[in-house]
Amino acid sequence: QIMALKDLGLTLEQITNLLLDGVTEAEIQAMLRLQEVQLERSVSEAQQQLLRVKARLTLMRQKQAFRDDVVLKQIDAHYVVAWRQRVDHVDTIEQHFTVLDNFLEDHHMKPTGPCFALFHDDRSKQTNLEVELMTPISHTLPEADGIRSFKLAALPLAACLIHQGSYQSLAASYARLRNWLARNHLQQVGAAREVYLRFADVATLYPDVYLAQKTDDFVTELQLPVQSTVLNVQATHVHA
């Protein structure tokens, strides 16, 4: 019994008191419920701290990415909540993430990283775009109201470029990235992704490090899944 109680996180002092005082099973259950609340609070605080660490690492990588320009890398698989829809204009995409924010709040879950969008249409379009909005999470959730939850597959190789500034100027960054692909004998083989590393202050689930007050401070990572048209390419940093 001592080992079982210790495995539940009780201290040796608490276990000793339980055994010596001859407490009832109801009292043990009450103590375990208190332990459950404390553990849940610790997990929540750890998740928030992890999110802040990820955000800080993201900012550090941004500085490196600005120096290195285009980067080839593997994108790991992760769990997401996703909402697929048509949006009238590319500038309104960000506003629709509140649907996922509300869904996560209803399930008492925090995102584990920056939100992003998967474009099922040609990304050069500015209007009437079919987009799948996604927020990374720690595990799947029950699906409801058109919101899905699943493990998004990894990308073996993606060409990535950091864009800073308004979404209206994203087209120039995409053109630059696609020109780079052509010069390096690579071709796009899947839907474009946009990872919103810093975005408008409309999200309630993200720490301040993710939020920007001005469009000039927006930071977006463009990710294009690619494969070589000539040779096998390993994920690495490549200068433009």
Q: What is the pLDDT of residues 38-58, one digit of tens each?
A: 887 787 777 777 776 776 676
d(CA 235, CA 157): 6
**Half-sphere CA count of 82, side-chain side, radius 13 A:** 17
**Greatest distance between any 2 Cα atoms in the chain:** 77
pLDDT of residue 68: 47
Helix (H, G, I), strand (E, B) or coil at 133: strand
pLDDT of residue 33: 82
d(CA 112, CA 200): 18
| 116 bridge partner residues | 134, 195
Q: Which of 195, 201, 235, 239 is CA-nearest to residue 72?
A: 235
Low-confidence ranges of the chain (pLDDT < 70): 1-6, 8, 10, 17-23, 52, 55-56, 58-68, 201-204, 231-240
For β-strands 127-137 and 78-89, DSSP reports them as antiparallel
Contacts of 153 (CB under 8 A, 6+ apart): 77
**Is the distance from CB of 209 to CB of 59 less than 8 angstroms?**
yes
Enter the pTM of the model.
0.69
**Is the distance from CB of 194 to CB of 218 less than 8 angstroms?**
no
pLDDT of residue 29: 80
> Which amino acid appears at position 173 of this protein?
S
pLDDT of residue 239: 45
**Is the distance from CB of 42 to CB of 9 less than 8 angstroms?**
no
Q: What is the pLDDT of residues 125-135, one digit of tens each?
A: 888 889 999 99
d(CA 41, CA 131): 35
Helix (H, G, I), strand (E, B) or coil at 232: coil
Contacts of 100 (CB under 8 A, 6+ apart): 81, 83, 115, 133, 134, 135, 147
